[in-house]
Amino acid sequence: MRRLTVGTARPYDVVVGTGALAGVGDLLAGHRRVALVAQEAVLDLHGGAVLHDLTGRGLDVVVCDMADGEDAKSFATVEALCRRWADAGLLRGDAVVALGGGVVGDTAGFAAAVYHRGIAVVQCPTTLLAQVDAAIGGKTAVNLPEGKNLVGAFHQPVGVLADTVTLATLPEREFRSGLGEVAKYALMGGADDTFGIGTLLADHGGAVLARDPAVLADLVARCAAVKVDVVTRDPEERSGLRATLNYGHTLAHALETAGLHDLQHGEAVAVGLVFAGALAGALERIDPARAELHRTLVDGLGLPTRVDGLGADELLAVMRRDKKAHGGLTFVLDGPDGLTAVDDPPPAALAVAFAAVGVDV
């Protein structure tokens, strides 16, 4: 089991490994009542152990199931959860356990942030994406019809329990999608592979795809450590450092917004990473071999490297409208000093990068 400490104002641990969920009772010792929020399928698969541990410690558990999918990440769900908690008598000193992927973590986390002006939440991520990313860092949000994640709050959990055993039941496409973020962390390590994630993928790629428990635990712990480090140094996205976590995401968000392709988030990130590598290569910030590594790494994980049938003009227009773009175009790109933000790259370099992912220029 790996224990990583997030050094926010009130520090908390991210525990990664086989059986991490069994620590939930310890973490909530001293509390009286707990709301366990999960989607039905995940509750059936992985809720038993959590429930057993909590009730075994004499905690009064209120099980709250919520619907699946992005549509459930809504004010309506937050209201339903808060009303259920009020009905069950949850008070300021009680706690929430969010068991599931990023949809549950974001929604239950946001409800916990606003219920009684903030009650404790334990994040128990059960998707690869949530274990390496969404559950760590305290960002919570719900969607509006006008856009994703438009209403939210920073609400750091009291702990994150990433039990890699839960990944065994994840549908294949969800697992692959999580690998898109894993590829991002691998490439964030730069040419000298600072975090050892690139080497792990090169040496044990087959075991990762086969979800070997020991290899997965190591992989998740290494990726989570990168996020923990960034969140510790920039807890509320003030210094710009946290923007490095958006590596590959500028194009990815545009692909998701353009909505012409049925791409999962991690698949869009995968294409975005290939694009970012090609753009950095065209700008001569990295050598051609490193740019090509972006493509081979993504390809080796069984993720898409291109999207055909889209036009660059359309994607550029979407990227300029992005809430983080401030009207111009900013990309996080690899370079001699690691990842840095690059504003408004020249059209010729953009054309090379678009061509590298199959987008018409």
Ligand X SMILES: NC(=O)c1ccc[n+]([C@@H]2O[C@H](COP(=O)([O-])OP(=O)(O)OC[C@H]3O[C@@H](n4cnc5c(N)ncnc54)[C@H](O)[C@@H]3O)[C@@H](O)[C@H]2O)c1
Binding site for ligand X (CB under 6 A): 39, 41-42, 45, 68, 70, 73, 100-104, 106, 126-127, 129-130, 133-134, 137, 139, 149, 166, 169-170, 174
- Least separation in angstroms between residue 47's CB and ligand X is 11
Nearer to ligand X, 160 or 278 (CB): 160
Please give the full DSSP string across 122-166, using - where no structure is assigned.
EEEE-SHHIIIIITSS-EEEEEETTEEEEEEEE---SEEEEEGGG
C-beta of 292: minimal distance to ligand X in Å? 27
Nearer to ligand X, 106 or 218 (CB): 106
Q: Which is nearer to ligand X, 158 or 350 (CB)?
A: 158
Cα–Cα dist 91/31, whole Å: 10
Between residues 139 and 294, which has the closer beta carbon with respect to ligand X? 139
Cβ at position 267, least distance to ligand X in Å = 11
Tell me the Cα Rg of the chain.
20
Distance CA 306, CA 196 (A): 26
Q: Measured from the CB of residue 43, what is the shortest distance to ligand X in angstroms?
A: 9
In the bound state with ligand X, the residue whose beta carbon lies nearer, of 60 and 174, is: 174
Token pair for 336: 């001699």
The residue sitting closest to ligand X, measured at its beta carbon, is: 102
- Residue 161 amino acid letter: L
CA angle 49, 109, 186 (to 5 degrees): 80
Rounded Cα–Cα distance for residues 313 and 309 (Å): 12
Question: Which secondary-structure segment (H or E) carries 302?
Answer: none
- Closest separation in Å from C-beta 135 to ligand X: 8
- Closer of 8 and 169 to ligand X (Cβ): 169
**Closest separation in Å from C-beta 129 to ligand X:** 4
Q: Which residue type sits at 183?
A: A
285 DSSP assignment: S
Using the minimum distance from each CB to ligand X, give the nearer residue, 112 or 352: 112
Closest CB 305 distance from ligand X, rounded Å? 20
Going by C-alpha positions, the residue among 157, 137, 125, 123 that lies closest to residue 232 is: 137
In this structure, what token pair is assigned to residue 182? 């894993």
